[in-house]
Amino acid sequence: MLTLGFGVRLLSTIRGLKRRYEEKTKTTLSISSFYDRFTPNMAVFLRTCVLHAIEFQALQPSRVLNEKLKRFKDLVIQDSTIIRLHESLAKIWPAARAKRVAAGKVSCVVSAVANNPKSVRIYPERTSEAKILRLGPWLKDLILLIDLGYFKYRFFDIIDHYGGYFVSRLKGNANPLIVGVNRKWRGNSVDVVGKKLHDVLPLLKREVLDAEVEVRFKRRKYKGKQSTVTRRFRLVCVFNSESEKYHAYLTNIPVCILSGKEIALLYGARWEIELVFKELKSYYQMDKIPCGKPEIVECLIWVAILTLMCSRRILRLIRNANPEKADRYTPLRWAKVFTEQADRLLTEVLECMGLKLDMLTLYDIYIGHGCDPNVKRERLMERWIS
């Protein structure tokens, strides 16, 4: 009921969910006892369901990396999205820029191979990105596409240490030293070696600058000491004709695997995670939770994510059944169809469980739910008619 009823917002309130639950299960509950089901333990259970779905779908990858990326295990994308919450939750879920505003931050790592989230975590918006991005041995032989919000040389150093690969946009104020070039141009080209990036970009006429750069940064303190490190990374600048300026990327993927233009195209795959967030907000209404009870809010966030996992699971089955047109089943178009047909799917699932709606049950629903529970409420016409 949560995923195929409330998750797709066919039911917009908890009371509506209660009515549908009673209808399908042929039971009667008080509204207070129904609300009491949304406990911290329920939130933990729903989170466990999400983790189970992630693990299950990771074992059944729906896509494979192409020939260019065959040496890597997966292409993963990291980012977060903000969801606004009821202002009464401001102390529990503080927003980043206002004291009396509540907001949560949903952090995702999306797998391109599984076509699904690889991990999901929920934080208050004020939580810094440094605490959200969790790097470790799981990065070995993976490519991680990083948002500018997580741009830190220290992060790139750690990813490289674990045997992983990364691609990130270069921050506008970053000005690394160019120490070598990976591609030479014919003619009277600008000599860039030994110069800072900001000094050479205005002089460039070439379409792509593919170079080695040197950066300096401080590692985290250890036993009261903090060391300064110098590292080399690959810098790719590709001229964008629409914006009429260079887009700069930092990576540790070797030139022999991907060219400069291919690095820029690969970073464009970050759009995949934006589609996940759009699906969660536009179709599963993750950012429209008006409730002021923290345990209910947390439950409904996990419900939205679990609904996404169910939707993607069925999408995989449909793609497998029609492999010739698999690429044409795009995520947002699919999400629209899934939400429109979710009620019929719910009915089929419940009937398989032996819960079938008959006329007597429907009559009981009309008798019970059609009557206003507020006994003493004044009716508009009761003094005039009987």
Cα maximum dimension of the chain: 98
In tens, the pLDDT along 40-80 reads: 999 999 999 999 999 888 887 767 888 889 899 999 999 99
The whole-number pLDDT of residue 362 equals 64
Judge whether 3 lies within some domain.
no
Question: With a cut of 50, which residues of the chain have pLDDT below it?
Answer: none
**What is the value of pTM for the model shown?**
0.83
Judge whether 15 lies within some domain.
no
The whole-number pLDDT of residue 266 equals 94
Q: Is the dihedral of CA 380, 381, 384, 386 positive or negative?
A: negative
Residue with tokens 């779908």: 57
| Inter-residue contact 178 to 235 (CB < 8 Å) | yes
| Inter-residue contact 25 to 355 (CB < 8 Å) | yes
Judge whether 52 lies within some domain.
yes
Question: Phi and psi at residue 127, in whole multiples of 5°?
Answer: -65, 130
Q: How many CB atoms within 10 Å of residue 142?
A: 21
| Inter-residue contact 155 to 135 (CB < 8 Å) | yes
Compute the distance between CA of residue 319 and CA of residue 324 in angstroms, rounded to an integer.
9
Compute the distance between CA of residue 108 and CA of residue 133 in angstroms, rounded to an integer.
10
The whole-number pLDDT of residue 73 equals 92
Between strands 142-146 and 102-111, the pairing is: unpaired
Closest CA to 267 of 255, 277, 258: 258
Judge whether 374 lies within some domain.
no
Q: How many CB atoms within 10 Å of residue 33?
A: 9
Domain containing residue 169: CATH number? 3.90.350
Judge whether 370 lies within some domain.
no
Residue with tokens 């060219």: 259
Beta bridge partners of 208: 238
Judge whether 307 lies within some domain.
no
Our CA angle for 116, 80, 261, nearest 5°, is 75
- The structural domain count of the chain equals 1
The parent domain of residue 223 ranges over 39-292
